[in-house]
């Protein structure tokens, strides 16, 4: 198993990409801290994975609140003894064209998608430094690299994740901690379920592979970056987008 006995925190793991990652990591032998703001869904998903024989525990967290993050990390360490892997997957959207984007919605997305990544990474760092080994994986987006109409706030946060990833890779690489990001394209998640089918058809036509990605595609990218197979990968942004941005 590629993650045998590694302790992994995955944020935003009650559904979508995070849930797929939790299942993938657990199957590969990891002890998974499934974390999310939604207590009901988080407990349900953790129970479902435990019923399959996996070592998964739910921890509630609001990544935008530092006290909540510190409490979650402390509880994970009490439960599992340390932290090896962090997947900064939690994220929200509040899309609007620039002229109509409110200050409140701009800030809410920054608080979760950008500041939340900072909070979680800084909070797990002492445990990784003590071990002299760690994997930090953050979710960016093709929107953060190329921009996207109606996503000023979202694109800004995902571009910021790229900048933080490269900075931390330079700071932490010599300490045994690899830091990388994944940039998903258009995925089959709750976000795209709200998009009209005719728009999705147009999107599919722009993707060389001819389809939207599946949550498992991103989970497998997380798995690679969390495993020993990526020992010499540091500071990269792995695009998992079907080639849409070539």
CATH value at residue 202: 3.40.50.720
Provide the residue count of the chain.
Answer: 246
Task: Report the pLDDT value the prediction gives residue 246, as an integer from 0 to 100.
Answer: 75
User: Minimal CA–CA distance to 230: which of 221, 218, 242, 239?
Assistant: 221
Averaged pLDDT for residues 97-118: 98
The predicted model gives 190-198 an average pLDDT of: 79
**pTM to 2 decimal places:** 0.97
Whether residue 246 is contained in a domain is answered as: no
Residue 149 has pLDDT above 90, yes or no: yes
Q: Is the pLDDT of residue 196 over 90?
A: no
Per the residue annotation, which of 154, 222, 224, 232 is the catalytic one? 154
Residue 207 has what pLDDT?
Answer: 95
Whether the pLDDT of residue 8 is over 90: the answer is yes
- pLDDT number for residue 13: 98
Q: How many independent structural domains does the chain possess?
A: 1
Inform me whether the pLDDT recorded for 48 exceeds 90. yes
Q: Judge whether 2 lies within some domain.
A: no
Percent of the chain with pLDDT over 90: 93
Average pLDDT over residues 208-234: 97
pLDDT at residue 112 is higher than 80: yes
Is residue 129 situated within a structural domain?
A: yes
Average pLDDT of the chain to the nearest whole number: 96
Cα–Cα separations (whole angstroms), residue 84 to 22, 79, 80 = 14, 13, 10
- Per-residue pLDDT tens over the stretch 10-46: 999 999 999 999 999 999 999 999 999 999 999 999 9
Domain that holds residue 133: 7-240
Q: 189: pLDDT confidence band, cut at 50, 70 and 90? A: confident
Asked if the structure places residue 139 within a domain, the reply is yes
Q: Is 54 a catalytic residue?
A: no
- The pLDDT confidence band at residue 190, using thresholds 50, 70 and 90, is confident
User: What is the model's pLDDT at position 50?
Assistant: 98
Residue 224 lies in a domain: yes
Residue 228's pLDDT band (cuts 50, 70, 90):
very high
Does 195 score more than 80 pLDDT? no
Residues 221 and 183: their CA atoms lie apart, in Å, by 10
Residue 17 domain-assigned (yes or no): yes
Is residue 245 a part of any domain in this protein? no
HEC secondary structure over the chain: CCCCCCEEEECCCCCHHHHHHHHHHHHCCCEEEEEECCHHHHHHHHHHHHHCCCCEEEEECCCCCHHHHHHHHHHHHHHHCCCCEEEECCCCCCCECHHHCCHHHHHHHHHHHHHHHHHHHHHHHHHHHHHCCEEEEEECCHHHHHCCCCEHHHHHHHHHHHHHHHHHHHHHHHHCEEEEEEEECCECCHHHHCCCHHHHHHHHHHCCCCCCECHHHHHHHHHHHHCHHHCCCCCCEEEECCCCCC
State the pLDDT at residue 245.
Answer: 79
Answer whether residue 1 is part of any domain.
no
């Amino acid at each position: 198993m590629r993650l045998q006995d590694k302790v992994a925190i995955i944020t935003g793991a009650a559904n979508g990409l995070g849930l797929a990652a939790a299942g993938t990591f657990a199957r590969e032998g990891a002890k998974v801290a499934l974390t999310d703001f939604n207590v009901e869904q988080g407990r349900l998903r953790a129970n479902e994975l435990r019923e399959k024989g996996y070592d998964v525990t739910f921890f509630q967290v609001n990544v935008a609140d530092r006290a909540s993050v510190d409490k979650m990390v402390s509880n994970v360490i009490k439960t599992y003894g340390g932290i090896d892997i962090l997947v900064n997957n939690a994220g929200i959207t509040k899309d609007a064209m620039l002229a109509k984007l409110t200050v409140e919605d701009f800030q809410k997305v920054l608080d979760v998608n950008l500041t939340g990544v900072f909070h979680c990474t800084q909070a797990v760092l002492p445990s990784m430094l003590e071990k002299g080994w760690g994997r930090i994986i953050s979710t960016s987006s093709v929107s953060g690299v190329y921009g996207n109409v109606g996503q000023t706030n979202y694109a800004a946060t995902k571009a910021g994740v790229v900048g933080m990833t490269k900075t931390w890779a330079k700071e932490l690489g010599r300490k045994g901690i690899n830091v990388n990001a994944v940039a998903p394209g258009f995925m089959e998640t709750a976000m795209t379920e709200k998009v009209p089918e005719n728009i999705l058809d147009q999107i599919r036509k722009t993707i060389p592979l001819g389809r939207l990605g599946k949550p498992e595609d991103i989970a497998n990218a997380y798995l690679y970056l969390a495993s020993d197979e990526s020992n010499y990968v540091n500071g990269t942004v792995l695009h998992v987008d079907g080639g849409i941005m070539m």
